[in-house]
Structure 1
Amino acid sequence: MGINNIVGFFTKNNHYHNPAFGENLVTKHEHSNTDQHTSFTTTFFRRCARFFLGSTEKNKSGVRSKEEEKVHTWLYALAQSDKDLVFEYVKSTERGLSFKEAERRLKECGPNVPISYHFPCWWQLLWNASFHPFNIILVVLAMLSLITSDYPNGCIMLTWVFISVTLRFIQENSSTKASMRVLELLKCPVKVQRCAGRVVQTELIVKIDHKDIVAGDIVIFGPGDLFPGDVRLLTSKDLIVSQSSLTGEAGTTKKIAYIQEDQTTPLLELQNICFMGTSVVSGSGTALVVSTGPKTYMSTIFSITGKQKPPDDFHKCVRHLSYGLICVMVVVVPTIFLANYYTSGDLSESILFAISVAVALTPQALPLIVNMSLAIGALAMAKDKCIVKSLDAIQKMGSMDILCIDKTGTLTTDQVVMFHHLDSWGLPKERVLQFGFLNSYFKSELKNPVDDAIMAYVYTNGYRFEQSQWRKINEIPFDFTRKRVSVIIERNMNTQDKNNYCYKAYKFMVTKGALEEVVKICSFVEQVDKGVILPLSQEETQRILQMGEALNNDGLMVIGVAIIEIELESHVGATGKYEWNESNMVFLGMLTFFDPPKDSAKQAFSKMGEKGVEAKVLTGDSLSLAIRICQEVGIRTTHTITGPDLQFLDHDTFHETVESATVLARLTPTQKLRVVQSLQTMGNHVVGYLGDGINDSLVLEAADVGISVDSGASVAKDLADIILLEKDLNVLVSGVEQGRIIYGNTMKYIKVAVITNVGSIVSLLIATIILPFEPLTPRQLLTQNFLYNVGHIMIPWDKMEEGYAKKTRPWSSKDLLFFMMWNGPVCLICDIGALSFIWFYYKAYSYSHEEFFRAAWFIDGLLMQTFSIYTIRTAKIPFVQEIASWPVIISTVIISSIGIAFLFTPIGRVMGMKDLPLSYFGFLIVLFLGYFTLCQLVKRIYILSYNRWL
């Protein structure tokens, strides 16, 4: 059955199939333009037919998946249809869905959560925990042991697998539940139009959480809002959307509701379709939700590629460590296999022993210890009212050496108070306040503290501006490039007062915004006291800007106000619609505001500086105001620059300037992004960014650690890794400390595991070569490995030396190699000493002493690997100058006691060991005293040579 036949079948029966939802929609609409309808229908069902026949279209990345094809087909069909047909497809109305119908759809389709945010079920976690490569090796070994009737060995290995899987499952399950609780705290309310009433249905505007949005809902959006699903625009007004969450590009896209697309337009360039996860930069409108959850375009992207930040240096170096251990295995394991096979002649036993050595060489507890450390850090930060969305962000905070911050609401209290309303000569004038107030009063989008401050000033000081006698005609919304907002207002004719400030005009465009941007669009200046308008000369412009800078130096934020008298007829464009241009305006004056610095900011930045974290201020405010605020909170202001100056710098000069500057003012969102990326790529810095506005969204996504606040814009909270429930910068200091403690504890385990494992394996290789039997059986080796790994699980609860968290400690694979070369031989020397003592003192080198040798070697290796943590965890003398935390001490005592107790219980007999004389334990005391002494000597030399330990 061909495509044309399928199209004919559908069009003949007038049945419309929704390929994304699997619903049959029967329509009986009669359209005035039949040809247009037929053309659309044919195109729509050709797409559907291609999907059902299994054909796919190719894009840049290759062949689309079936899920992608379904989403593309559905969205293209809606983009080409008119609004009436769109409502019919999603079974909705212009009044929206009823509450009952929305509830039914939510139960049927599930919460509006894309694939990327679906948490794994418990059985998925259990599956992932079970099918770890090393677990598979142990299971294979256990099965081979059981087949050969070596039941004790098989049971021990299966027990190890069970405990390992259980510990990992419990940890990951608790982390998943904690992440789910975090997302529950991060509610993202969406304005939705619903209809209510049984007889006469009326529209209601309600706020509901984004997870409760269903297909068919009508959403109302404004600047800073995230689209809760894929939507077809119904109305739009100056709508600019950021699609960086999908494209990874910093640009914005203009969207228009009143348009019908064609099939040649690329999907992401469709002007009447907006996608889940994209955000509104400026403008407003309404839209019909057509797809939610896993049926959105975003879900297809995540399901194919995922959206994760690249691994940091820590994870890269851990991976390199794994590769290094594999290389050691490739050399050591075959050698041990050949040596063991040469002496024993038992092929199967030699294979099992060699694989057991490979397992013992691997730091199997590393993932568990890292996850536990991160979870402990997250709990500690939660006590400081800080939500950690990404556990890895804590570790990155420990490595962070630059913190970029947006000034507004971060360094200041974000409680703006209005001070002055001045004309162009710095004299108080009520007319400036009047039009500034009217702009804030009629402005409908992106209200901010400045607007609240203006209105509070007017109401509390008894001004009467008769705002009820003005009518709003239109609005040019604020955006972060123009940095201004304009409203077009008209005074009612029947209340015109010839003596008021409006003179003979009654229609105005009123503009308010950053002083430099407002002056830029003015050609005239008004002398309010004389009632005359004069041309704005270059000298006048400089004088006004200098006055604004002087006010900034006094710690005041300055906003410019301008107006222009208009005639509506002169603004009708070629399309018959009104077109508004902010040009040739009349400068009225300035409004000044004060936003006091936070009391905690100076203390926090002082602590940050002590810990080696440099603060850089990236703000859209004026340079002089940013400098004044930075001086009050203790940030250096010796090197500063503005966005307009940055854009003229070449690549190398740009990076050098960004590297040295501490205050970068008048930046656009794109410039902020470029600054952060330059610090990351050219300067090799780990960069954190703290911001809470819409203009911070690009930078929050690009930074190594994105930080926002609970009261921030939805898009900022969505992209941040860490969210502060209180705007207290001291929480960040705590986060840096936690990150460095996590790094330190992780390094303890890595260094202990590397030097003890490699040393033990080399000594095991020597013993295998010189002895006629295996130094340890596979079950003994695995039991020893299991016990000391369990003993190290308490490392995340260990404390760090005083002063450790005061500076950034970047990971270095080279440093780890040198550490192993210096300290590894110490473990090897002690193992050889134990081997020599057993050989010469007890004469335990023949088959008749096999059980004695293995018991002695088992205890020596276990205690050596367990107690080595005390020498590695501190640069000081262990037990004398520095004592470990109680959890570490208790765990090592318990594990050592269990290992020794094996020798005197039936378990030791089953494992092939026998009792040891007290003289051997006396020798171990002497051996470990020598070990600690030699370690301390090597430690001193190493620290003098490299000026670091952990």
Structure 2
Amino acid sequence: MRTFKIPTIFTSKSHPRLPYQNPIRQNLVDKPESQNGSNRVFRFLRGLMSGGKIDGGSRTEAEEKLYSWLYALAQSDKDLVFEYVRSTERGLSFTEAERRLKENGPNVPVDFSFPSWWHFLWSAFFHPFNIILIVLSVISYITSDSPNGCIMLVLVLISVCLRFYQEYGSSKAAMELSEFVRCPVKVQRCAGRVVQTELVVQIDQRDIVPGDIIIFEPGDLFPGDVRLLSSKHLVVSQASLTGESWTTEKTADIRENQSTPLLDLRNICFMGTNVVSGSGSGLVVSTGSKTYMSTMFSNIGKKKPPNEFEDGVRRISYVLVAVMLVVVTIIVITDYSTSLDLSESILFGVSVASALTPQMLPLVVNTSLAKGALAMARDRCIIKSLSAIRNMGSMDILCIDKTGTLTMNRAIMVNYLDSWGLDKEKVLQFAFLNSYFKTDQKYPLDDAILAHVYTNGFRFQPSKWKKLDEIPFDFIRRRVSIIMEREEDTDPHSFVRVMVTKGALEEVMKVCSCMENVDSGTISPLSPEQYQRIINMTEEISNEGLRVIGVATKKLGKIRYERKDNDDTSESDMVFLGLITFFDPPKDSAKQALWRLAEKGVKAKVLTGDSLSLSIRVCKEVGIRTTHVVTGPELELLDQDAFHETVKTATVLARLTPTQKLRVVQSLQTIGNHIVGFLGDGVNDSLALDAAHVGISVDSGASVAKDFADIILLEKDLNVLIAGVEHGRLTFGNTMKYIKMSVIANLGSVLSILIATLVLKYEPLTARQLLTQNFLYSVGQIAIPWDKMEDDYVKVPQRWSKKGLPTFILWNGPVCTLFDVTTLLFLWFYYKADNLEDLVFFHTAWFIEGLLMQTLIIHLIRTEKIPFIQEFASWPVLCSTVLVSAIGIAITFTPIGKVMGFIRLPVSYFGFLVVLFIGYFVVGQVVKRLYILVYKTWL
């Protein structure tokens, strides 16, 4: 522990507000240079920021300033970095760190919080039909019709509670899965008033501030954008930002240039990335909303596509309200003109309005969605948004990340090739020995080599070898060497000492002067021609999506081996043996799952940050067409029209940035008019997850990805999504059954009441009878979510059609009214029920006919086939139909029926009803076939 005098940065009154913020703070770069510190620093920064865009691409002004800031630090000496961030090599004091934390706020890239319970309750309550029912119930209470008002409020309560329970419960489950940035970070702080002492303390990542010096080791996450101060064999994974599965070497002892891509800067580490191996220290230069990660979230929530279904339901509600106002007004005026009882006329008008309202729509929709959510929960899915289930049924394009979704996200060894591209076991033997004796750092590639040897029965007998030394991997050499020895077979007192080197091909070949011939095993010089041939062969292998490392050996003779520190001559004059190739294999289930999705009309597009060649290799193995492929840099060169056309046809889009993934999703939604799902688990996927109609993540994904997803998979398997698509289409289909059936039945019934009122000059039903009929009919519809769908329906994506419902009503609505009018004429002419003396008889007959009509219509609407002959409904729907019909008929024979004003009907009337409904189903089926013939669809 060292001690220092207090630096002026913490004691001088000339710096009441330290300008440590990055250039996103515009006032920092607009101040005179004399006030902002060193003239050198600010001339340098302004020179960078006055130039055009850095690293190419289309970015906002704020993003340009952030990029300029990071490039400035990457090109600066460490002393300039400390000066600009207003920190010291000893770190910040606790007081200064606390002040900066108050000024900047918690260190989180995006301030996202789960909605509170009242938000879910309000969302469940605020449905157009809920509001209509509440208004009607209030009017019912005003007109002293308490039972009607109570029934409507109960329906609203059940619907709201059901939706609230499901969505709030799913949100709580998602919150439990979320492990949002709360990990300890080692920070170097200085303490003391007269003599400062360096302290290394652990603080929460949310409390990190610009100017902090952090110390990191394998497994640590970088808590902000960091300029490296020191590093030792540092290897970092940037998969959370780029989606690429391979690691990146970082070093502090370098000054970058402006031509290097931002994420390839070797002395800058980014928030959200993690240390794979090595250690070091770094200066935090940006935190929270001023980090590179935060630029991904600038468009979060701003361009969410509209929900077609909710928009369609809202339009229906407006139309029904308009019809309701017109029809109810006419009925009230007509009824009042004959009865001269305004209160009774208003009560009857409210009852008609209630009959016109699809009262069960919120309940049926929420029950269908909740049923789908429970079914998907059994398939290990957490549904955060119920509407996502319905969108799954409409989804026709699924964008997926490659790594971990199509692939296993781990390396396996494929080939061991000599310098001529032929299998040679000796290459594998020495690569195995290198990995076996390596102790400094173990990489996934080492595990892949060891696993390949052990699982394929190779016997290389490492016990015969003894390790003498190791030259560990570092970011400059990019290779590791093992020195070992074994006894000679002919002389047990003599030893063979060998150095085995493996690593990046170019770096291994740099230290090779010879190569081993394929046929004879003799050694020949590694000529420039042979060098180029090997490089060309390696490029061909890489183009097939394989990763390559080189293997070389060197005999050290029988003298005692001693390696001096900083001795660069040990790795020289080596013999190049060959190559080891690796591959991130596709999952066994991926090909079958993609084929099943394609069968259901869902096209897959791969959006990945990995290389194009690797993406093509994986896609070929899982059956995705690769005739149309494109990369992110190529997309940046296209104009808007060409961009949309390319995105439309491409099936594989590689080397994409997070913003490009967002643009691709939005292009498919707006220009292609597709319902788009996106499956991703990294920070780099968050923009696209938020913008997609259906955002899907996994429980092992990044916290922020799970926050913005609608569905969280508890296992990363595409087969789970197939079940989700099926549940979504079943939910959508049953919901459309109810909407079309209820709107047709309700409109037909109300128009029939209007016609009967105008013709008869009295109410065809009393308010209480009409409400009872409507209540029984509504209760019977609760079984619809448990109905089945035809196989042909769930094979293709289903979407809401703005013109489809009005057209459907115009074709099928008159059929109901036609047979209601037929009943009216039959009662008028056959039973002579055309005067007030026959009022009770007419009420009873009209009540039963209307109830049976509305109850049986579901069987005509629910299928394209002939009901009760070619297709039967599910048993809950059949039981519901029988039960409601029996109750409706039985009421007229009970004392309750007498209280409600019913009488017993003659048997001849029930015979008429049988003929009537046979005729209804015949005519309805003819209209259905004509409709399907014209529009090629039914539901």
2:546 match: secondary structure: strand
Structure 1 segment 203-602 matched on structure 2, within 5 A: 279-280=272-273, 309-414=304-409, 416-420=411-415, 426=421, 450=445, 452-454=447-449, 456=451, 543-548=536-541, 552=544, 557-559=546-548, 590-602=579-591
Counterparts in 2 of 1:667 and 1:173: CA distance versus 1, 3 Å: closer
Q: What is the rounded CA distance, in whole Å, between the counterparts of 1:922 and 1:808 in structure 2?
A: 43
Query: For 1:451-850, what aligned pairs fall within 5 Å after superposition?
Result: 452-454=447-449, 456=451, 543-548=536-541, 552=544, 557-559=546-548, 590-620=579-609, 623=612, 626-643=615-632, 645-693=634-682, 695-850=684-839
Q: Deviation of residue 385 (structure 1)?
A: 2.9
Matched-pair contact (CA < 8 Å) for 2:300–2:687: no
Q: Residues of 2 paired with 1:440 and 1:851: CA distance?
A: 99
Cα 1:326–1:235 shift into 2, 3 Å: farther
What TM-score, normalized to structure 2?
0.68
After superposition, where does 1:6-17 map in structure 2 within 5 Å? none
**Root mean square deviation of aligned Cα:** 6.0
CA drift at 1:523: 10
CA distance in 1, matches of 2:850, 2:773: 8
| Cα distance change of structure 1 residues 127 and 543 upon mapping to structure 2, 3 Å threshold | closer
Indicate which of 846, 851, 857 corresponds to 1:868: 857
How much has 1:455 moved relative to structure 2? 6.1
User: CA distance change for structure 1 residues 235 and 379 in 2, over 3 Å: closer, same or farther?
Assistant: farther
Q: Does the 8 Å contact 2:334/2:758 carry over to 1?
A: yes
1:40 pairs with 2:40: no
Question: Is contact 2:734–2:784 with CA below 8 Å preserved after alignment?
Answer: yes
**Preserved CA contact (<8 Å) 1:440 1:455:** no
Q: Is the 8 A contact 2:334 2:761 kept in 1?
A: no
Q: In 2, distance between residues paired with 1:466 and 1:325?
A: 86
Q: Is the 8 A contact 1:337 1:351 kept in 2?
A: yes
CA contact (8 A) 2:162 2:366 kept: no
Q: Corresponding residue for 1:572?
A: none
Alpha-carbon separation, structure 2, partners of 1:166 and 1:332:
29
CA distance in 2, matches of 1:650, 1:179: 41
**Which secondary structure does the structure 1 equivalent of 2:382 belong to?**
strand
- Classify the secondary structure of the residue corresponding to 2:764: coil
Does the 8 A contact of 2:155 with 2:359 survive in 1? no
2-side partners of 1:432 and 1:908: how far apart? 93
Alignment partners' CA distance in 1, 2:546 and 2:831: 85
Whether 1:884 aligns to 2:878 is no
In the TM superposition, 1:850-929 aligns within 5 A as 850-929=839-918
Structure 1 residue 930 and structure 2 residue 919: aligned?
yes
Q: Which amino acid in 1 is paired with 2:392?
A: M
1:172 to 2:164 alignment = yes
**Cα distance change of structure 1 residues 913 and 759 upon mapping to structure 2, 3 Å threshold:** same
- Give 3-state SS (helix, strand or coil) of 1:879's partner: coil
**Secondary structure of residue in 1 paired with 2:164:** helix
Shift of 1:34: 6.0
User: What do residues 546-600 of structure 1 show as CA deviations (whole Å, max 9, x unaligned)?
Assistant: 53157x2xxx62235699xxxx99xxxxxxxxxxxxxxxx999753124544443
- Residue-by-residue CA offset, 1:858-892 (whole Å, 9 max, x unaligned): 32222211210000001111111111011111222
Q: Which residue of 2 aligns with 1:105?
A: none
Structure 2 unpaired stretches of 5+: 21-59, 61-84, 102-107, 188-198, 243-249, 253-268, 484-494, 517-522, 553-564, 567-574
Residues 710 and 717 in structure 1, CA contact (< 8 A), matched pair in contact too:
yes
Contact 1:404 1:690 in 2 (8 A): yes
Identical-residue share of aligned pairs (%): 51
**Letter of the structure 1 residue corresponding to residue 147 of structure 2:** C
Matched-pair contact (CA < 8 Å) for 1:365–1:789: yes
- Partner AA of 2:911 in structure 1: G
Q: Is the 8 A contact 2:224 2:272 kept in 1?
A: no
Counterpart of 1:764, as a letter, is I
Distance 1:205 1:452, change over 3 A: farther
Alignment of 1:69-148 (within 5 A): 87-88=94-95, 117-118=113-114, 120-121=116-117
**CA apart distance, 1:339:** 2.9
Q: Which amino acid aligns with 2:169?
A: K
Measure how far apart 1:736 and its partner are.
1.7
CA contact (8 A) 1:866 1:892 kept: yes
1:430-451 CA-partner distances (Å, limit 9, x unpaired) = 6998799799989989x76x46
CA spacing shift, 1:240–1:360, aligned 2, 3 Å: farther
Tell me if structure 2 keeps the 8 A contact 1:525–1:535: no
2:136 is the alignment partner of 1:160: no
Q: Call closer, same or farther: CA 1:901–1:846 in 2, change over 3 Å.
A: same
The Cα of 1:472 is off from its aligned counterpart by 7.0
Residue 767 and residue 226 in structure 1: after superposition, are their counterparts in 2 closer, same or farther (change >3 A)? farther
DSSP-derived class of the 1:652 partner: helix
Q: How far 1:171 sits from its partner (Å)?
A: 4.4
Q: CA deviation at 1:807?
A: 1.4
How many Å separate the matches in 1 of 2:302 and 2:221? 17
Please name the residue that 1:573 is paired with.
none
- Structure 1 regions of 5+ residues with no counterpart? 1-28, 45-59, 61-78, 95-111, 196-201, 207-211, 246-254, 258-273, 477-485, 503-507, 513-517, 570-585
Letter in 1 for 2:920: Y
* Contact 2:430–2:551 (CA under 8 A) maintained in structure 1: no
Specify the SS of the correspondent of 1:320. Answer: helix
What code does the residue aligned with 1:309 have? Answer: K
Taking a change above 3 Å as real, the CA distance of residues 601 and 536 of structure 1, as seen in their structure-2 partners, is: same
- Larger Rg belongs to: 2
**Does the Cα contact within 8 Å between 1:224 and 1:279 map onto a contact in 2?**
no
Asked if the contact 1:421/1:589 (under 8 Å) is kept, the reply is yes
Contact kept? 1:317, 1:813, Cα under 8 Å = yes
Q: What amino acid is the match of 1:375?
A: A
CA spacing shift, 1:80–1:131, aligned 2, 3 Å:
farther
Structure-2 change in CA distance of 1:225 and 1:889 (3 Å) = farther
Question: Aligned equivalents of 1:524 and 1:393: distance in 2?
Answer: 57
Which letter does structure 1 place at the counterpart of 2:361? Answer: L
SS, match of residue 803 in structure 1:
helix
Quote the Cα distance in structure 2 between the aligned partners of 1:540 and 1:288: 44
Q: 1:376 to 1:452 in 2, by over 3 A?
A: farther
Is the Cα contact below 8 Å between 2:355 and 2:746 reproduced in 1? yes
Q: Give per-residue Cα distances to partners, 1:609-630, cap 9 Å, x unaligned.
A: 2222223334455555544544
Q: CA deviation at 1:921?
A: 2.8
Structure 1 residue 768, shift from structure 2 partner: 2.3
- CA shift digits 1:396-416 (9 cap, x unpaired): 222122223334443344453
Q: Which whole-Å CA distance do the structure 1 matches of 2:708 and 2:122 have between them?
A: 30
User: Which deviations, in whole Å up to 9, do the C-alpha atoms of 1:64-121 show, x marking residues without a partner?
Assistant: xxxxxxxxxxxxxxx98999877458989x9xxxxxxxxxxxxxxxxx9999654654
**Cα pair 1:129 1:165 within 8 Å, conserved:** no
